[in-house]
Structure 1
Amino acid sequence: MSDLHVTRLGDHGSPVVFCHGLFGQGRNWTQIGKALAADHRVTLVDMPNHGRSAWTDRIDLVAMADAIVATLDEPTALVGHSMGGKVAMLAALRHPELVSRLCVVDVAPVAYRESDEFGRFIDAMLAIDLGALTSRADADAALAEAVPDPGVRAFLLQSLRREGDAWGWMSNLQVLRRDLGAIRGWPDDVAGTYDGPVLWIGGGASRYVRDEHRAAMEALFPRVRRATVKGAGHWVHSQEPAIVTELLTRFLAD
């Protein structure tokens, strides 16, 4: 897989790599990354098919995990949200010698049931006539019916970039739409355990981390500790950055 675009913050301390979720970019973690950079060497990664990283012809969580590991040259703490959390878990399971500790944010090592939500988001994004687009506000209005939450729309529109007079999406929407099943899924042939420390952060109002997922998590990550952020939804780190920063600060200092 092609090289990944990264942003580095901080010049001393232990290394920490952040893996964002679907539709995101490394910069989604900038606020928290900057807060940790006083004591850690922080790397914010644009995942494949997102941001400024290369596009591929298919979505493969294992290949993405190996691409993240290829950026590591010493044991490193991995932090991953949603899709990035699955990638970080697979990286730890496949290359435990290079993962010093793991933080998984609002996702579990399970195959989720099919949902129309993300597919609806992508369909609405693809339906925008970029050639006729005159402003970001027009794009926001075009998404309003399919994506009624203004915060989610703002997040999705971070991937809309203008270069000269041309607008384009920084996410590989066609492939992401086709391969949503791979992102929702979990590889069948995952073996072994990761025996390092694991922090599992979930949003109290999110459906992605439930009590029924605990057995699957503990089977693969026996040293897992769970923290629930009350009132937060799936994008926990965006909704409650101060709480997530505090949780990570303590976890990385243990």
Structure 2
Amino acid sequence: MKLNFKKLGSDKPLVILHGLFGSADNWFSIARELEKSFTLYLVDQRNHGDSPHSDEWSYEVMVEDLKEFLDDEGLDQVYLMGHSMGGKTAMNFAIKYPERVEKLIVADIAPRYYSVHHQKILEGLNALDLKAIKSRKEADDILAQYIPELGIRQFLLKSLSRDSNGFVWKINLPVITKNIEEVGKALEEGGFYDGPALFLAGENSDYIQQSDLDDMQKFFPNYEVEFISDAGHWLHAEQPKAMVEEVLKFLK
């Protein structure tokens, strides 16, 4: 699959993968801080952003999408960073194609299995009748019945676009809803990536726990963990300056 992406900056390539319900645009402010040091490739994963939609949606196909993207761009080896779902894609890619990853950064996700915990978000998104709503305010009012956190609603509504016929989702909502268990899958046993790997964890997030360190060691023997203070799961949005500092320290 040919993925949509944005390219900016110069020097060594750094590929960034967004998380579930997100897009490349979520990382634009971070990229602006990093473009003096790297050539940034902000990639929309399949069924997200402006990349194509498909009934196939798993880490296996997303890894192959990423390989195809690197091949098309002539990128033999890159720095690779992913957040949440994008972090799982990045981990799976690094294990399957370790020679293509010079250094790996994983933002607030561990190699283990995560149970489905997006039910209310999916209920809210599926409650929106896109043919009936007339404004983003109306969409937000409906979503608020399911998702009280304004910041999360604003993030989700970034994937609500408009064409000549009205509102449309950039995400492939039916496929994501049907296959939501795919996003929580653990890394498969047997492989490992022995290049430098940095796990960035939000101090206020429960996505990375002490019990995850054994898994990190098993799959990524050359790993380190840094906690971002006063940050939850969306650490790049909550503490962008601290995240940029950690990324630069690790890659430089």
Band of TM-score, shorter chain: over 0.9
Deviations 1:97-128 (A, max 9, x none): 1111000000011111232xx12211211111
Task: Give, in angstroms, the shift of residue 191 of structure 1.
Answer: 2.1
Question: Taking every aligned residue pair, what percent have the same amino acid on both sides?
Answer: 35
What value does the CA root-mean-square deviation take over the aligned residues? 1.1
Task: Return the alpha-carbon distance in structure 2 between the equivalents of residues 33 and 80 of structure 1.
Answer: 13
Q: How far off its partner does 1:84 sit? A: 0.3
Residue 145 of structure 2 aligns with an amino acid whose one-letter code is E
Distance 2:103 2:187 in 1: 21
Determine if contact 1:59/1:183 at 8 Å carries over to the other structure: no
Match for residue 62 of structure 2? 64
Which piece of structure 1 moves more, 152-161 or 49-58? 49-58
From 61, 76, 79, the counterpart of 1:77: 79
> Contact (CA 8 Å) 2:92, 2:187: kept in 1 or not?
no
Q: Which moved more, 1:58-67 or 1:99-108?
A: 58-67
Look up the match of 2:159: 159
For 2:60 and 2:204, the matched residues in 1 are separated by 29
- Structure 1 runs (4+) greater than 2 angstroms displaced: none
Q: Which runs of 5+ in 1 are unaligned?
A: none
- Counterpart position of 1:193: 192
- Supply the AA of the counterpart residue of 1:36: L
Give the corresponding residue for 2:89: 87
Partner of 1:236: 235
* Partner residue in 1 for 2:30: 32
Looking at structure 1, the residues matched to 187 and 198 of structure 2 have their Cα atoms a distance apart, in angstroms, of: 21
Per-residue Cα deviation, 1:185-239 (whole angstroms, up to 9, x for no partner): 1244x42211111110011111111111110011100111101112211111011
Count of residue pairs the alignment pairs up: 248
Matched residue type, 2:205: S
- The offset of 1:71, in angstroms, is 1.6
Q: Give the whole-Å Cα distance in 2 for the aligned partners of 1:7 and 1:187.
A: 28
Q: What SS does structure 2 have at the residue aligned with 1:7?
A: strand
Stretch deviating more after TM superposition (166-175 or 62-71): 62-71
- The DSSP-based 3-state class of the residue aligned with 1:177 is helix
Tell me, yes or no, if the aligned pair for 1:58 and 1:179 is still in contact at 8 Å: no
Change (3 A) 1:248 1:187: closer
Q: Does 1:181 align with 2:188?
A: no
Partner of 1:209: 208
* 1:104 aligned onto 2:103: no
TM-score by length of 2: 0.96
2:204·2:231 contact (CA, 8 Å) conserved in 1?
Answer: yes
2: distance between equivalents of 1:177 and 1:35? 34
Where 2:69 maps in the other structure, the secondary structure is coil
The offset of 1:160, in angstroms, is 0.2
Maintained 8 Å contact 1:203/1:233: yes
- Partner SS, residue 74 of structure 1: coil
Letter in 1 for 2:178: R
Q: What is the distance in 1 between the residues matched to 2:210 and 2:56?
A: 32
Q: Secondary structure at the match of 1:130?
A: coil
Name the SS for the 1:131 alignment partner.
coil
2:218 aligned partner: 219
Q: What is the deviation of 1:249?
A: 1.1
SS in 2 for 1:195: coil
